[in-house]
């Protein structure tokens, strides 16, 4: 049975960049499952699998189709209980919801603004028009102004990572001795930045940077297989 992952790309369909899609790539790699990657441009998202979801990732596994990276993780855990655990039990599932909220409110909000023009530059013209219009509506100003407002706030961003940095003194992954979906939730955000922008997000020597490098090495370098933006 073939597993297909629909994931967001730009002009270069070999450079998936969506943070949420990366969570699912890592989830599948964690379970050791083979899958086919099906690239989708922004304007193609509504057409995926007969308009099932409004967002990607979307996963098809045989007759089952699921959207949303967290729902996909729950599905994979249930469908493949004998493969390495992705969520670490009931407590791991519940607490991963907190990690998701933390990542969205603390990391995505900080990274997202910075990357707008980088992402725009990666898209086909039709997707560029969609992207600019939808994001300018969301932010209430031109992309250029959002990016400018985000510049020079590296110190503030580094401070937001303090909970992760302090935790990493006790264990190498959010999942403990090894990674869990909680790691991939946060990894997705940093990988988004790594694929879209050459700007350095973290100082070298930062324990968070070391953790990200460890994540890039996981599962035969599934994350590192896509080169960083240059």
Residues that bind a copy of itself (CB under 8 A): 85, 87-102, 104-106, 162-167, 170-171, 173-176, 180, 182
Q: Determine the distance from the C-alpha atom of residue 51 to the mean position of all C-alpha atoms in its chain, rounded to a whole number.
A: 22
Identity of the residue, 133 or 171, whose beta carbon is nearer to a copy of itself in the bound complex: 171
Decide: helix, strand or coil at residue 75.
helix
Min dist CB 91 to a copy of itself, Å, is 2
In angstroms, the CA 106 to CA 157 distance is 8
Identity of the residue, 79 or 117, whose beta carbon is nearer to a copy of itself in the bound complex: 79
Identity of the residue, 48 or 161, whose beta carbon is nearer to a copy of itself in the bound complex: 161
Min dist CB 183 to a copy of itself, Å, is 10
Min dist CB 2 to a copy of itself, Å, is 29
Identity of the residue, 123 or 180, whose beta carbon is nearer to a copy of itself in the bound complex: 180
- The helix-helix angle for 69-79 and 19-31 (nearest 10°) equals 10
150: which residues sit within 8 A by CB, 6+ positions away?
110, 113, 114
- Closest-CA residue to 184 (of 113, 84, 115): 84
Q: Could you give the maximum distance between any two Cα atoms of the chain, in Å?
A: 49
Min dist CB 188 to a copy of itself, Å, is 16
Identity of the residue, 119 or 164, whose beta carbon is nearer to a copy of itself in the bound complex: 164
In angstroms, the CA 92 to CA 57 distance is 22
Min dist CB 228 to a copy of itself, Å, is 26
Identity of the residue, 10 or 179, whose beta carbon is nearer to a copy of itself in the bound complex: 179
Put residue 9 in one of left, alpha, beta given phi > 0 → left and psi -120 to 50 → alpha: beta
- Closest-CA residue to 7 (of 45, 51, 33): 45
What does the DSSP 8-state code read for residue 16?
A: -
Q: Determine the distance from the C-alpha atom of residue 126 to the mean position of all C-alpha atoms in its chain, rounded to a whole number.
A: 23
Torsion of CA 32, 103, 178, 82, to 10 degrees: -40
Min dist CB 143 to a copy of itself, Å, is 24
Identity of the residue, 32 or 89, whose beta carbon is nearer to a copy of itself in the bound complex: 89
Min dist CB 163 to a copy of itself, Å, is 4
């Amino acid at each position: 049975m073939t597993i297909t992952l629909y994931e967001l790309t730009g002009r270069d369909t070999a450079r998936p960049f969506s943070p949420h899609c990366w969570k699912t790539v890592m989830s599948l790699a964690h379970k050791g499952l083979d899958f086919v990657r099906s690239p989708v441009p922004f304007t193609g998202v509504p057409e995926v699998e007969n308009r099932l979801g409004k967002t990607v990732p979307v996963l098809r596994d045989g007759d089952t189709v699921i959207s949303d990276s967290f729902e996909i993780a729950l599905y994979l855990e249930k469908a493949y209980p004998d493969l390495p655990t992705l969520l670490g039990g009931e407590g791991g599932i519940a607490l991963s919801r907190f990690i998701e909220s933390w990542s969205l409110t603390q990391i995505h909000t900080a990274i997202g603004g910075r990357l707008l023009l980088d992402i725009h530059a990666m898209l086909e013209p039709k997707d560029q028009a969609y992207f600019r219009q939808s994001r300018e509506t969301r932010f209430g100003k031109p992309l250029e102004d959002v990016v400018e407002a985000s510049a020079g706030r590296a110190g503030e961003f580094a401070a937001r990572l303090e909970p992760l940095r302090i935790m990493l003194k006790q264990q190498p992954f959010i999942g403990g001795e090894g990674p869990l979906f909680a790691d991939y939730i946060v990894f997705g955000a940093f990988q988004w930045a790594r694929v879209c922008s050459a700007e350095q997000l973290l100082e070298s020597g930062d324990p968070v940077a070391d953790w990200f490098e460890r994540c890039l090495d996981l599962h035969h370098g599934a994350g590192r297989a896509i080169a960083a933006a240059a």
